[in-house]
Structure 1
Amino acid sequence: MEDLRIKDLNKIRLIFAMLTLAYIFAILTALNERKNKPMKQNKYADQRYFDMESVFRQGQSLCKQRFISLKGFLCLVLFLENSIYCYQPINLIFVH
């Protein structure tokens, strides 16, 4: 972010909004994938289990694979559109 050297506050807000959407996009993609195919887990000496890959990293990897083709990208956009539904109208006070 520092390398971009952006000084305009509105542009900074836009970049953070895009980063937030990308993060949510990755998380939702991974959680949807885990419904169909559970993640393998590591068992540690103290008998605790952890996923072999974080939800974000798995989602990031899946999104990268789907961004290669336009069809895959559009399928991902449709998935996101169906996954997020805003019950309340967006309060524009927070946007400014």
Structure 2
Amino acid sequence: MNTGLPDGWTIERVRSASGDPEAALLSLERLVVVEVHGLADYVLLQPAVILSFHDLCLVRADDDWFMGQLDDDGSVICWASYGSDLDEAIRGL
């Protein structure tokens, strides 16, 4: 299975780095948006990977990792880019 994770990363490594033994890859079949300061509407993201850490998510889109929250309807609303390095984005959790 192609997880879309960066080279050298597995879900087990994500769990270890995050300290969350329940971290999981989520289906890409959901609405993913990012709030952009100064814009009234959300910006649609095309995710390559969605990692779930309970209610928080990291979404990889356009080679950046976005922090967001999983909504009750399954959509993800992101509020910031944490850069292109997954390890650094995980530390931002």
Is TM more than 0.5 here? no
Short-chain TM bin: under 0.3
Bigger Rg, structure 1 or 2: 1
User: What TM-score does the superposition give when structure 1 sets the normalisation length?
Assistant: 0.24
User: What TM-score does the superposition give when structure 2 sets the normalisation length?
Assistant: 0.24
Higher helix share: 1
